[in-house]
Structure 1
């Protein structure tokens, strides 16, 4: 795999210089935008990146507003940087289609780990299953990373795709939040971490919006989630 190209968007120039220097030393190509407007202009002009990191708190246009402008047309993986105690911002970011979040002030090493995890899951599925998975009207193609419900293509982020992939691999089994976090987000589940819950919720909503015949993903209180077996 070639060098990954990251777009780092934050109005704090001192921070972007620090993070850029660290990531570059670790073999990542970094482009910086010190405003959300500049980042939006670059993306709409056709510049391509493997992943973007958006700070939420920026003047003129916030990271959340920037993400809202991009989704669902841009499938670029996005990590949000949130302030301390910004639980609502984190959840909003995930609901708008962010792939993951990290609290500020962030450790550059932790940011690099998150970047690598998101890029890995955006490009890979488990090599043991490459054939199309089917459940009722749902078809999931791991090689194309595409989901169809009937004739409708379901627009999923990389994290949402991998959530559904894990469920369709193991219908009728309870998957714990810890296991889903490890397999989907490639990191351990931490206290007060709502990321996997939001990704599961968005998958539910998108399946329902395509007129899937029943509630396929059930919450098993205290244990996790279960993807209902196909009764056919």
Structure 2
């Protein structure tokens, strides 16, 4: 998901349309307040920020993103009509990963976004197995679970179940699949075991427990469509 904060309707709609057509899910916001609301519900993979905005400018937004633990490494590209060296330096020194001056070509912007996403992916250690969904962050290698930045303690079975759900984000997993994966094929328990562990897992995750959806008559899933 790519978030675009741009108050020019024509630019915002054109960028969102181009990205969605190219297979990159994108959502635009004409005001920073709407962007911050969306950010609390879902963290994007990259943010495109205009500098001249109502409410607060793009540099202020960028500085806030870099101060937050959950967004300090979020890839950000600045978009602005300003082309002076000073504005470019301000954006880059504030933590921007790239800078594109208006007017820009859609294909160039798309190429820059894809290149930054590739660099970000390459820099992320594959063995970390780190999952982020909303306010929930799980690091499988470190056996670490964070809810809104606060550590949560899970049992091994609860942690393994949460990781398995995250590995299959958007997919419905049956109770039998969860039993087989978490307890092993020789486990002679009943499906009720899964329901009990899901219930305690939800309780420990607090508000993030709602991310785990019950699919009546089938099983459970976490997150939307893969």
TM-score, normalised on structure 2? 0.52
Separation in 2, partners of 1:83, 1:104: 5
Quote the offset at 1:142 in angstroms.
8.4
Q: Name the structure 1 match of 2:50.
A: 55
Structure 1 segment 45-124 matched on structure 2, within 5 A: 45-73=40-68, 74=71, 75-124=73-122
Separation in 2, partners of 1:109, 1:46: 29
2:26 counterpart of 1:30: yes
* Runs (5+) with no aligned partner, structure 2: 129-226
Q: Deviations over 1:101-123 (max 9, x none)?
A: 10111111111011001101101
Cα RMSD over matched residues?
Answer: 2.2
Q: Name the structure 2 match of 1:207.
A: none
Q: Name the structure 1 match of 2:14.
A: 18
Structure 1 segment 132-171 matched on structure 2, within 5 A: none
Normalized per residue, the structure richer in helix is 2
Separation in 1, partners of 2:127, 2:91: 28
Q: Name the structure 2 match of 1:199.
A: none
Separation in 2, partners of 1:48, 1:84: 28
Quote the offset at 1:41 in angstroms.
2.6
Separation in 2, partners of 1:67, 1:40: 12
- Between Structure 1 and Structure 2, whose CA radius of gyration is higher? 2
